[in-house]
Amino acid sequence: MSAVIVFSAWEIAGRVPISYSFPTFLESMAALAVITLDGSIFVAYAETLKPLVTGIAISGVLGVGIGLWVGLSEKFEWLFAPIFIVMQAAPLAALIPLLVMIYGIGLTSKVFVVCIMAMPVIVLNTASAVRNTPVSLKEMARSFLANDHEVLLKVIIPAASPIIFSGLRLGVSAGFIGAILSELKITPTGVGDIITFSRSIADYPTMYAAIFSIILLAVLFLNLLEKLENYLFEGNNRGYISD
């Protein structure tokens, strides 16, 4: 229902029009059909997904690992947590020229942009989940003579997994933003190329169609991750943790 309201408002705003550069929803969907049928949208996403998938994979592995370490060690938290807090708060657009100077305009810079967007969210959520593991669970494990390694693997990680997974989902969302921003600010490739080129020739329906496709893909992907999260941690939804 909410989608119908948004698309109807989009159509009305385009017909008024609120701006000559703001097409109607139907015009944008027609343009989306055109770039889908001629295959250009798939070629574009083949390029866009390279830094996105690579950056998310790196952020997921390193982010969870660093987050566990930050959550378990007060000294490590004091040393590294502020770095990720600053990364999360810093304006990314101001950092992109620095990355370009260091790594050039290729894939490496774009992967770094995705990591800068995604990793702080994953690290901070993981660290928070580890720190908030119920003390009673850890004490119970130690009463059964569990060592530190066993407490980590059998108590802390399972208890923190739902929040860690939520952090991964938020990291993926931030990674989408980073991937598109890198294509717009570093080199116009992939979907960013469609947006930039369409804007330069005043083909606004195609430009909005490309933007809409990004939003649609991100929403679908995040919904799939949410369903996977609900499946993996079904007990949390039923209240088993509180029971």
Model confidence pLDDT, tens digit, residues 180-195: 888 887 777 788 888 8
118 inside domain: yes
Question: Does the pLDDT of residue 243 top 50, yes or no?
Answer: no
Q: Which residues contact 151 (CB under 8 A, 6 or more apart)?
A: 138, 141, 142
pLDDT given at position 237: 52
11-15, 79-83, 90-94: range with lowest mean pLDDT: 90-94
**Using CA atoms, how far apart are residues 116 and 175, in angstroms rounded to an integer?**
8
Residue 216 has pLDDT above 70, yes or no: yes
- Is the pLDDT at 242 greater than 60? The verdict is no
Residue 3 lies in a domain: no
CA distance 231 to 173: 20
Q: Which residues of 27-42 are buried (b: 16+ CB within 10 A; e: fewer)?
A: bbbebbeebeeeeebe
Identify the band that residue 30 occupies on the pLDDT scale cut at 50, 70 and 90. Answer: very high
**CATH number for position 139:** 1.10.3720.10
pLDDT of residue 90: 72
Say yes or no to pLDDT of 15 above 80.
Answer: yes
Does any domain span residue 241?
Answer: no
Residue 1 belongs to a domain: no
How much is the pLDDT for 239?
Answer: 47
Domains contained in the chain, number = 1
pTM > 0.75: yes or no: yes
The verdict on residue 77 lying in a domain is yes
Residue 75 belongs to domain spanning: 50-189+225-235
Which residues, at least 6 apart from 21, have a Cβ–Cβ distance to it below 8 Å? 202, 204
| Cβ(31)–Cβ(205) below 8 Å | yes
Tell me how far apart the alpha carbons of residues 12 and 5 are, in angstroms, rounded to a whole number.
11
Q: How many CA atoms lie within 13 A of 194 on its CB side?
A: 28
- Whether residue 176 lies inside any domain: the answer is yes
69 pLDDT above the threshold of 70: yes
The answer to whether residue 101 sits within a structural domain is yes
Query: What is the arithmetic mean of pLDDT over 155-180?
Result: 84
**Model confidence band, residue 33 (pLDDT cutoffs 50, 70, 90):** very high
Mean pLDDT of 187-204: 85
Q: Is residue 204 part of a domain?
A: no
Read off the pLDDT of each residue in 13-35 and give the average, rounded to a whole number: 86
The stretch 14-38 carries a mean pLDDT of 86
